[in-house]
Amino acid sequence: MNSLLLALLAFAGYILAYGTYGRFLGRRLFKLDDQASMPAHQYYDGVDYVPSKKHIIFGHHFTTIAGLGPIVGPAIGIIWGWLPAFIWVFLGSIFMGAVHDFSTLVVSARNQGKSIGDLTGDLISPGTRYVFQFIMQLLLFIVLSVFAMIVGVLFEMYPEAVVPVWMQIPIAVWLGWQIRNGKNDLVYSIIAVLFMYASIIAGVYLPVRVPPVFGSSVITWCILLFIYVFFASTIPVQKLLQPRDYINSHQLLVAMVLLMAGLIVAHPVITAPAVNSNAFAGDSDIPGLMPILFITIACGAVSGFHSLASSGTTVKQVDKENDTLFIGYGGMIWESFLAVLVLMAVAAGLGMGFEDNGKSYSGLEAFRHHYSSWAAFAGIDAKLEAFVVGASNLFNRLGLPTLFGKSLIAVFIVSFANTTIDSATRIQRLSLQEIFKDKTGRIRKPVHNRYAATFLVVLAATIMTFIKPGATGALILWPLFGSLNQLLAALALGVVSLYLYYKGKNILFTLIPMIFVLFVTIWAMLDNLLDFFYKDEYLLMGLSAVIIFLTAWLLVSGITALIKYRRNRITGINVSSTV
């Protein structure tokens, strides 16, 4: 099949889905109303609660949820064949991921900008909010620790990306200042992007390597990154995080346009198999497609981290309720289209040819060589290599020099990994402060202000990162991330379903996705639990068992709350909801 045709069909499908299913959810299910008071106005503080323009928040939200997920996930998931990966990315995003992101954003907006974890206490019972918040904190703890190490590794892999990635900070501060002073945000954002691409050219000729600390440069980068995220997560959002993400959204748009242009010029045939028969061979070390595909490809289809972004930082910046459709539903399907382009770069671009150890590979042979076994994906470099090579081949057809093309991809990859760190830190700080709120809404010590809360968050991640040599401590918990992330998506959809039920709305639009995601996630978690047992990984085994138990507790509590609500309504007891 031709890669260009498939990409165009996917793009048309996403536009159609947004204009039909997305608008249906907005108008009929949630009945969006611009007269509704938004948290950004209700609780304006100039730090976290700041009403902003729709397209600027779209840029912030999109780069927060994207990260490496829509790149790494499809680049691994294609090992089972491009067809199952494409179907999950396309249909999963439209009917599950976009619904998840949009609905959690709306429900949070209608409940004082509370996180999805805090909302659990209002919808189910006060005790369940701590259970949900524990799962949230564990996920964010892993994200912050692991991504600091990943960005450090990426800086080592792509030293030409160091200058442009760090130059984004002063450029973003300058852009934020211009916007706050009433300057045209589109014009000045274009100027900012031009500055950024000038820094990419500079980075090609000025690659940066830092001296090692305790024998590892990755440790050096991690120290610098933890210092950076402390300040980035406490500075008012409109001064750094928001304009930086806005710039990165422009960068992503350029990268996607170049990938699409490469497909138009080269229109390579997909050489990867539709279904990889080698993956199902008896002697293969590749795990079965079910349920691992749905855990491996997360952000490109559905991801629990997105609900934390929607109800954590994004909701506190949305100006009008109708903006949530474009930001929440639109942001997810745009990310999914990025995942489709990654699939095409790997499925077709990789087959355009590459060299390894002096030998050339092309077509199906290129796919077979790179995806020879599951063990081949042991490192981040192996996970990204197929995309980097495939995208570079497409860029070459546009006449871009190979070195500049690879630098462009490197900056693209590192920038999005980096935005995940500072956004995750801010989200975790806000979530931690919610846990320590008393009945009056006052935040208790030791997280009574944003500096103290952020310090504790960063300190915990720092200790975890450096608990093992080479800043690899976070990898201890990394095997939990995939299933934990998808579990959070299922639970968030469950919370939204309860909200809709209390409001007398049709819950099938969120309940069906919730049941599917929960089913494949619990399946994967039980598989992992057995694997941890056989490998004597007692810490992971214990945490997995605790998470499964807490999930059961949340489900039983949710069903109990629903039954109680129905009983009270039938008997005529006042069941007016706080939500």
- pLDDT tops 50 at residue 386: yes
Q: Which CATH architecture has domain 3-38+57-571?
A: Up-down Bundle (1.20)
Q: What is the pLDDT of residue 576?
A: 46
**What is d(CA 483, CA 391) in angstroms, rounded to the nearest whole number?**
29
How remote is the C-alpha of 538 from its chain's centroid?
A: 29
Closest among 102, 123, 78 to 271, alpha carbons compared: 78
**What is d(CA 220, CA 215) in angstroms, rounded to the nearest whole number?**
9
DSSP string covering 238-302, please?
TTTHHHHHHHHHHHHHHHHHHHHHHHHHH-PBP-S-SS-GGGGSTT--SPPHHHHHHHHS-TTT-
CB 492 within 8 A of CB 307: yes
Q: What is the pLDDT of residue 282?
A: 66
Average pLDDT on 2-16 reads 97
**What is d(CA 364, CA 268) in angstroms, rounded to the nearest whole number?**
13
CA distances in angstroms from 239 to 155, 170, 173, listed in the order given = 25, 10, 6
Average pLDDT on 498-526 reads 95
Provide the token pair at 394. 């497409």
pLDDT band at 286 (very low <50, low <70, confident <90, very high): confident
- pLDDT tops 60 at residue 6: yes
pLDDT digits (tens, 9 = 90+) for 63-108: 999 878 899 999 999 999 999 999 999 999 999 999 999 999 999 9
Helix (H, G, I), strand (E, B) or coil at 513: helix
pLDDT digits (tens, 9 = 90+) for 120-147: 998 998 889 899 999 999 999 999 998 8
pLDDT digits (tens, 9 = 90+) for 242-254: 999 888 888 888 8
pLDDT digits (tens, 9 = 90+) for 433-462: 998 887 777 888 888 889 999 999 999 999
- pLDDT tops 80 at residue 487: yes
Instruction: Give a three-class secondary structure readout of 116-156.
Output: HHHHHHHHCCCCHHHHHHHHHHHHHHHHHHHHHHHHHHHHH
146-161 as b/e: b if 16+ CB within 10 A: bbbbbbbbbbbbbbbb
Greatest CA separation found in the chain? Answer: 78
Provide the token pair at 117. 């974890």
Closest among 347, 350, 168, 165 to 273, alpha carbons compared: 347
CA distances in angstroms from 102 to 38, 96, 219, 503, listed in the order given = 15, 10, 38, 17
Q: What is the DSSP letter of 353?
A: -
Q: Which residues 6+ apart lie within 8 Å of 252 measured at CB? A: 62, 63, 66, 338, 412, 416
| Identity at 102, one-letter amino acid code | F
- Site of tokens 């402060």: 433
Closest among 267, 238, 465, 236 to 352, alpha carbons compared: 267
**Percent of the chain scored above 90 by pLDDT?**
65
Average pLDDT on 515-531 reads 94
Global confidence as pTM? 0.94
CA distances in angstroms from 190 to 249, 251, 252, 332, 334, listed in the order given = 11, 10, 13, 24, 20
Helix (H, G, I), strand (E, B) or coil at 32: coil
CB 75 within 8 A of CB 388: no
According to DSSP, the β-strands at 354-356 and 359-361 are: antiparallel
pLDDT digits (tens, 9 = 90+) for 271-284: 999 998 877 776 67
Q: Which residues 6+ apart lie within 8 Å of 9 measured at CB? A: none
Query: No. of H helices and E strands in the chain?
Result: 24, 2
Cβ atoms within 10 A of the Cβ of 62, count? 26
Q: What is the pLDDT of residue 374?
A: 84
Residue 88 C-beta-side C-alpha neighbours within 13 Å: 30
pLDDT band at 261 (very low <50, low <70, confident <90, very high): very high
- pLDDT tops 50 at residue 262: yes
**What is d(CA 7, CA 130) in angstroms, rounded to the nearest whole number?**
43
pLDDT band at 572 (very low <50, low <70, confident <90, very high): low
CB 550 within 8 A of CB 486: no
Handedness of CA 420, 226, 46, 173 (dihedral sign): negative
**Percent of the chain scored above 70 by pLDDT?**
98
For residue 401, whether the previous peptide bond is cis, meaning omega lies within 30 degrees of 0, is no
Mean pLDDT of the chain: 91
Q: What is the pLDDT of residue 500?
A: 96
Average pLDDT on 374-392 reads 82
Q: What is the pLDDT of residue 406?
A: 78
pLDDT digits (tens, 9 = 90+) for 342-363: 999 999 999 998 888 888 888 9
- Site of tokens 């699409």: 260
Domain coordinates of the chain in residue numbers?
3-38+57-571
Average pLDDT on 397-414 reads 83
Helix (H, G, I), strand (E, B) or coil at 465: helix
Helices 128-157, 538-571: inter-axial angle, 10-degree rounding: 140
Closest among 462, 460, 458, 434 to 448, alpha carbons compared: 434
Q: What is the pLDDT of residue 126?
A: 87
